[in-house]
Structure 1
Amino acid sequence: MFSNSVKLFKLMGFDIKVDPSWFLIATLIVWTLSTGYFPQLLEDESQFTYLLLSVVAMIGFFGSLILHELAHSVVARQHGVEIKGITLFVFGGVAELGSEPKTARSEFLIAVAGPAMSFVLSALNWSAAVMTQAFGPATALTIVLSYLAIINLVLGIFNLLPAFPLDGGRVYRAFLWSRTGNFLEATRRASNLASRIAFVLIGLGLLLVFTGQGLGGLWQVFIGIFLLTAAKSTYTQTLITSALKNKTVGSMMTETPHTITPDKSLSELVNLTMLRHRVGFVPVVEDDVLLGYVDNEVLNRIDRENWSNTQVDDVFVAINDENTVSATLSAHELFEQMSKQGRRKFLVATDHHLEGVITLSDLMGYLAVLQQVGPTRFQTPSTSLP
């Protein structure tokens, strides 16, 4: 999800990372606080003082975000859910789940841990602000602590919106999951509700833009778009995981692919195999031994006028661990491998014996049919919320 993120440090066994987009919101927060918030509450100070307080407040805010996500991560680890890391990005922070919770109860506890941490941080900062104010008039420290108390309260409340995959949306999914015992259907319904909430946020944001509140309205539109995209992509990923988790490559591959021998020319390959059978990925086999493959990418490297005097043997890609998989491999593992490598087509073989080919189109075609016939038939055991 965050391929360009940079690791900052490790905390309680979790990698803390930052995405380049984070610097945009960090800069915006510092600018807003130094030019408006602190000058209004703390008069007659230098611009450097306002800037310094803004940087401190921004660091405190993102420290709060890390603690919010850390709470999710610790509870997730206790319930056997893998956490890939915690990443700060333009819309805040996220704990990247490596797997889904196994029960509705686990989902509920993991989801509420973050807002609970935000509310605790809000109370602690507010108490500290009250204590500092008790010793005299409002100081810079009091104002910073008050800001952190307010921002953590807002963070906790906002995350409890039932807009999946926000924490409140995950609580809603846990509730639906416990009622129906159907994880995928619960995810679908939670995603649909999140989409409706996202459209409301986008509409209100546009209204603010047209009434002269440009920056605030645009930010609300961006948040709505983010929620809409995240809800749909999370449901799609859940559908893929549920649909493919019990499937193997062997059950979904093309078992009798059209092949070519290495002594054929590229012209013969194109005219007799690719065009005739409408395939763009052709295994190269000689005496029942799989040697490799030729595809459109290989062809594009050779000038068309040289196809007739160039043999397949001169250009084919040899089999290796990156382009060849076993028929017993999980289809879901293959999908993840496709995502990581960017490779869409694989040979399926055992000891240089071709068993078939499998492509991203095979997996997507299966998922398309599944959605038409009813993906909600994938069931998980019914559980109860605490």
Structure 2
Amino acid sequence: MFGHSVKLFTLMGFEIKIDASWLLIAALIVWSLSSGYFPQVLPGLSQSAYLILSITAMLALFASLILHELAHSLVARRYGLGIGGITLFLFGGVAELVDEPKSAASEFWIAIAGPIMSFVLAGLFGLAALVAGGAGVVGILLGYLASINLVLAVFNLIPAFPLDGGRVLRAWLWQRSGDMLEATRKASGAGTVLAIGLMGLGLFSALSGGGIGGAWLVLIGFFVLNASRGAYQRLLVQDSLKGRRVAELMTPDPWTAHPDMTLADLADRVMMAHAVSFAPVVGDGAVVGYVDAQLMRTIAREEWANTTVGDVMAAVDDSCLVAPRMTAEDALNRLAQGPHRKLIVVEGRQLRGVLSLRDLMGHIAVVQALGGARTGR
């Protein structure tokens, strides 16, 4: 999910990571607290004292976010779901669920665990602030942490996907209808409404002199919009490919090249003649490599007649070879994560077909045009 995250440590079996974007929000929080909030509620301290206090508050806030996401992760693990880790990023934190919940009940308890943890933290920090007297440096700091955890819990309970409240809404809709995809569509729609509202409010605030606060609301709105729509689209893809194997969607018996064939012959007799830009290379009945148009362009055209396929072909390895029995969803993930645009389907080393992203997207488009792959979930 996050391409520039760095692992910090492992907590209760979960990797805790930070994304590069986290540095921006951390700096903004420290700046806001040290230049505005703490000087207002604790006048008379030195600038260095405000800075130390702000850094402490920021670290405690992000510790609270980790505990919020840890609650999600522990309940998800209890229900047998994989967790890719907990990552702090620009808009807070996220527990990276590898799989979707298998039932409405598990969705509900996984979703509600985070806000419950934030409410508990708000109560504990509030109680500690009362014990500390409330008016001193420690009391003010604890009071701030109580308030921010309370805000975090309440905001996350807004019934708009992908917020925790939106997941609770999805669980309720799912329980009523028995259809996870339709429940996700409706919860995602609520997320879209929230996102547009946040962006509109942020734009109004920015134009009215709200400054960075308005811009921040717009950014949050964009994040919610993309996350809600992206989650629904991912589920659509999973639903369309469910139960399908590579053998069902691949292009069987593709046009091939031989290692001794010249590039000129490959271009004329295979690629141009049959309108293909990719050819597995087969020698002695086994796949030994592949050639595509991108690779061909790296060779000067005047050299094609004197260069054989075997001289320039790309080697094959496990990243581009798949078995016919592999699930279509796993194949799509392989294409999305790897450097290859096509996968060569083999049994042993014998060629069975080629699977491209176009094959998968074409199947998904047909399924959705027919009204979706209803599976009675």
Q: Which range, TM-score by smaller chain? A: over 0.9
* Aligned with residue 180 of structure 2, among 176, 183, 191: 183
Q: Contact 2:159 / 2:167 at 8 angstroms: preserved in 1?
A: yes
Q: Contact 1:183 / 1:379 at 8 angstroms: preserved in 2?
A: no
The residue that corresponds to 1:275 in the other structure is 272
The residue that corresponds to 2:113 in the other structure is 113
Partner deviation per Cα, 1:133-153 (whole Å, 9 max, x = no partner): 17xxx1110110110011001
The offset of 1:351, in angstroms, is 2.3
- Which region of structure 1 is more displaced relative to structure 2, 92-101 or 298-307? 298-307
The offset of 1:158, in angstroms, is 0.7
The offset of 1:3, in angstroms, is 2.0
Residue 146 of structure 2 corresponds to residue 149 of structure 1: yes
Counterpart CA distance in 2 for 1:286 and 1:80 is 45
Q: What one-letter code is carried by the residue in structure 1 that aligns with 2:101?
A: P
TM (norm. structure 2) is 0.97
The residue that corresponds to 2:17 in the other structure is 17
Counterpart CA distance in 1 for 2:19 and 2:307 is 47
Partner deviation per Cα, 1:236-276 (whole Å, 9 max, x = no partner): 22122222231111111001211222222212212222122
1:1-386 → structure 2 map (5 Å cutoff)? 1-133=1-133, 138-375=135-372, 377-380=374-377
Counterpart CA distance in 1 for 2:370 and 2:336 is 26
Distance 1:213 1:376, change over 3 A: farther
Partner deviation per Cα, 1:288-345 (whole Å, 9 max, x = no partner): 4332211122212211221122111211123322221110111111112222213220
The residue that corresponds to 1:383 in the other structure is none
SS in 2 for 1:263: coil
Percent same amino acid at aligned positions? Answer: 52
Q: Contact 2:69 / 2:95 at 8 angstroms: preserved in 1?
A: yes
Counterpart CA distance in 2 for 1:351 and 1:113 is 47
Counterpart CA distance in 2 for 1:65 and 1:21 is 15
Q: Contact 2:125 / 2:146 at 8 angstroms: preserved in 1?
A: yes
Partner deviation per Cα, 1:92-144 (whole Å, 9 max, x = no partner): 0000001111100000000000001111111111111112117xxx1110110
TM (norm. structure 1) is 0.95
Q: Contact 2:319 / 2:334 at 8 angstroms: preserved in 1?
A: no
Q: Contact 2:263 / 2:309 at 8 angstroms: preserved in 1?
A: yes
Q: Contact 1:122 / 1:148 at 8 angstroms: preserved in 2?
A: yes
Q: Contact 1:184 / 1:379 at 8 angstroms: preserved in 2?
A: no
SS in 2 for 1:212: coil
Q: What one-letter code is carried by the residue in structure 2 that aligns with 1:346?
A: L
Q: Contact 1:347 / 1:354 at 8 angstroms: preserved in 2?
A: yes
Q: What one-letter code is carried by the residue in structure 1 that aligns with 2:171?
A: A
The offset of 1:69, in angstroms, is 0.4
Counterpart CA distance in 2 for 1:140 and 1:276 is 79
- Which region of structure 1 is more displaced relative to structure 2, 360-369 or 216-225? 360-369
Counterpart CA distance in 1 for 2:160 and 2:151 is 15
Q: Contact 1:185 / 1:376 at 8 angstroms: preserved in 2?
A: no
Higher RCO (C-alpha 8 Å, min separation 6): 1
Q: Contact 1:259 / 1:285 at 8 angstroms: preserved in 2?
A: yes
Partner deviation per Cα, 1:160-179 (whole Å, 9 max, x = no partner): 11221110110111111111
Q: Which runs of 5+ in 2 are unaligned?
A: none
Q: What one-letter code is carried by the residue in structure 1 that aligns with 2:44?
A: D
SS in 2 for 1:318: coil
